[in-house]
Chain A
Amino acid sequence: MDNSVGIVSAQRAIFDIPLIFKSGAVLPRYELMYETYGTLNGDKSNAILICHALSGHHHVAGYYSDDAKNLGWWDNMVGPGKPIDTDKFFVVGLNNLGGCHGSTGPSSIDPQSGKPYGASFPVITVEDWVESQARLADHLGITQFAAVLGGSLGGMQAMQWALSYPERVRHVLAIASAPHLTAQNIAFNDVARSAILTDPDFHGGNYYQHNVVPTRGLRLARMLGHITYLSDDAMADKFGRELRHGKLNFSYDIEFQIESYLRYQGDKFAAYFDANTYLLMTKALDYFDPARDLDGNLNRAFAPAQAKFLVVSFTTDWRFAPERSHEIVHALLHNKRDVSYAEITSQHGHDSFLMQDEQYFAVMRNYLNNVYSEVAA
């Protein structure tokens, strides 16, 4: 395990001050799971917050003492000497509110009813997450992050940080992200949600009491999602039209390798992920739109931002296409903000942001080196 942060352990922060959601709903008390890597410097200026995407969590890097195979989801990016260098930065990863990896979410017990929140867990927005993350920052004594960053939905949170708390973030790195979802993107999410909502085991979101899980719906949702995270070329390269048994069987069983792969991915995901969390995450994606209350004017939406930005997109990402990143860049240019934009040539579609790539890593490393020079000075 060269240049890994090594053995890590998750921590839990408890918040007793009620959180008022954008919807008006109130959560009187909540808990967030998080991990940290590296050392917070004396003036607490070298902290980086990593926001996760749809299925992520607080275990970003390293491994657990009792489970060396459970590597963090961004271990290739985060560690000593890696682009997000834990020798330089104090890195914080958390499981978002509403998640299913230990932070308060639909599968947690509602102290008022003594039962899991289930369907009663409030619909959460990116703004609500940033609010809960700001309290985690307070808890850790961090008044300003050197950088807040994330890919996809994580990039949306990073951007929202610059809008909600302009003075609390020096740099935003928005990777494979978008200023809002397109109709096509919302449509994909709707099909995924429909798969879950119509599963007979869903029980209106309160399946926990019935001791069942809407596995079929969640599995279909993930299969659909997975298709959109890959590029046509990457799928063709990896699977082509290859048959599992080398011949047509004239049946509806798994025949093509791609079918086998998708079902495997769906099963794997449905075995550990909570369906209600999936619903919440996709809804947060759909709702994110900082220009919504400004007649769709993204230039005005980005006016409060003070942070410097790095925007990164990937050529074959059609779910969060480079054009969507251009919109972010355009709004930042309009507001005369410092911004750099890299369009990485990659064949892996939306998933590229999780993959090791020389150019991508060089851009991240060079940018964060400058961030470090700023805060270490």
Chain B
Amino acid sequence: MNTSIIQARPDFAAIAAWIPQGSSVLDLGCGDGSLLRYLRETREVRGYGVEISDTNIAACIANNVNVIQNDLESGIADFEDQSFDFVILSQTLQATRNTEALLKEIVRVGREGIVSFPNFGYWKNRLQVLLGNMPVSDELPYQWYDTPNVHLCTLHDFEFLCAHLQMRILARHVMANGNDVHVMPNLRGSTAVYRFRRNA
């Protein structure tokens, strides 16, 4: 099961690689708890998830991971300052409403934040826009009228916001089709994972 999760979600592998043994982790929008379960089984992580969907809550409990049913944007207020080593937001940033406030909350509650999101600057997305349509792809599988993604951004955009919020980016991992991208990441990368913290 472990390997299949990592294969299905390359961003999970990138996230897990940054998390040392025995860390405490809060996973916002944790889905069925797969990542938390993987981190517990491979890194003895003490973790909690926040999730809103009923189906996912039942699945998290089946996966034997701690999960709190709440809206991740308002629910994070219940967590105390610097109470986790890592706060993770995987493939959810683009669907949050108060994105700026949430990023601030992530570095309030976590000593570090880890965020993964689809790169809107990926060349295939740019091409579709250039040809006159909103992009639809594996990373962005929605039509413009039914998408939950209200805050899409490029790598540049995200880095600009981090600077604006006085957050220091500690590491960045950009991928496309499961492979690492090092050259021209804002054009060639479809998924980005960032690790950041508050400027001391």
- Neighbouring A residues of B58 by C-beta, 8 Å: 342, 359, 362-363, 366
* B66-74, B86-94, B154-162 - the one binding chain A: B66-74
8 A Cβ contacts from B48-82 to A: 48, 54, 57-58, 60-62, 64, 66-70, 78-80
CB of A329 within 8 A of CB of B78, answer yes
Within the complex, the shortest CB–CB distance from A233 to chain B, in Å, comes to 19
With an 8 A cutoff between CB atoms, is B126 at the interface? no
Check A366 against B61 for contact (C-beta < 8 Å): yes
Name A326's closest neighbour in chain B (CB-CB).
B78
CB <8 Å contact, A341 and B61: no
Where the two chains meet, the residues of B that have a C-beta atom closer than 8 Å to any C-beta of A are 24, 46, 48, 54, 57-58, 60-62, 64, 66-70, 78-80, 83
Q: Is the CB of A359 within 8 A of B61?
A: no
Q: Which residues of A contact B (CB under 8 A)?
A: 310, 326, 329-330, 333-334, 336, 338-343, 345, 359, 362-363, 366-367, 369-370, 373
Q: Find out whether the CB atom of B78 lies under 8 angstroms from the CB atom of A340.
A: no
Q: Which residues of A contact B54 (CB under 8 A)?
A: 345, 359
Quick check: A341 and B46 within 8 Å, CB to CB?
no
A185–B78 CA distance with the chains assembled, in angstroms: 24
Given the complex, which residues of B lie within 8 Å of A330, measured CB to CB?
Answer: 78
Provide the residues of chain B in CB contact with A366, threshold 8 Å. Answer: 58, 61-62
What residues of chain A lie closer than 8 Å to B64, measured between beta carbons? Answer: 370, 373
C-alpha spacing A342/B66, complex, angstroms: 11
CB-defined contacts of A345 to chain B, threshold 8 Å: 54
What total of A-B pairs shows CB separation below 8 Å? 51
* A and B contact pairs by CB, cutoff 8 A, 18 listed: A330-B78, A333-B68, A333-B80, A336-B46, A339-B68, A340-B68, A341-B67, A341-B68, A342-B69, A343-B69, A359-B57, A362-B58, A366-B61, A367-B61, A369-B62, A370-B62, A370-B64, A373-B64
Q: A339 — which chain B residues lie within 8 A by C-beta?
A: 48, 66, 68
Known contacts A329-B78, A333-B68, A339-B66; 18 additional CB pairs below 8 A are: A333-B80, A334-B80, A338-B66, A339-B48, A340-B57, A340-B67, A341-B67, A341-B70, A342-B69, A343-B69, A343-B70, A345-B54, A366-B58, A366-B62, A369-B62, A370-B62, A370-B64, A373-B64
Q: Residue of A at shortest CB range from B24?
A: A336
Q: What secondary structure prevails in chain A residues at the interface with B?
A: helix
- What distance in Å separates the Cβ of B1 from its nearest Cβ neighbour in chain A? 15
Task: Across the A-B interface, give the 4 residue pairs with the lowest CB-CB distance, nearest first.
Answer: A366-B62, A366-B61, A362-B58, A341-B68
* Distance of B140 from chain A, by nearest CB (Å): 30
Closest B residue to A311 by beta carbon equals: B68
Assess A333 versus B61: contact at CB under 8 Å? Given A338-B66, A339-B66. no
- In the assembled complex, the CB of A361 is this many whole angstroms from the nearest CB of chain B, namely 10
- Expressed in whole angstroms, the minimum distance between the Cβ of A359 and any Cβ of chain B is 5
CB distance from B111 to the nearest CB of A (A): 15
Complex: A344 Cα to B13 Cα, angstroms? 33
A333 and B78: CB pair below 8 A?
yes
* Contact in complex: A363, B61 (CB < 8 Å): yes
A341 near B62: Cβ-Cβ < 8 Å:
no
How far apart sit A256 and B78, CA to CA, in the bound complex (Å)?
Answer: 44
**CB of A335, distance to nearest CB on chain B (Å):** 11
- Shortest Cβ distance from residue A165 to the other chain B in the assembled complex, whole angstroms: 23
Contact B67 A333 (CB under 8 A): no
Closest Cβ–Cβ distance, residue B110 to chain A (whole Å): 14
B61 touches A340 (CB 8 A): yes
A367–B62 CA distance with the chains assembled, in angstroms: 7
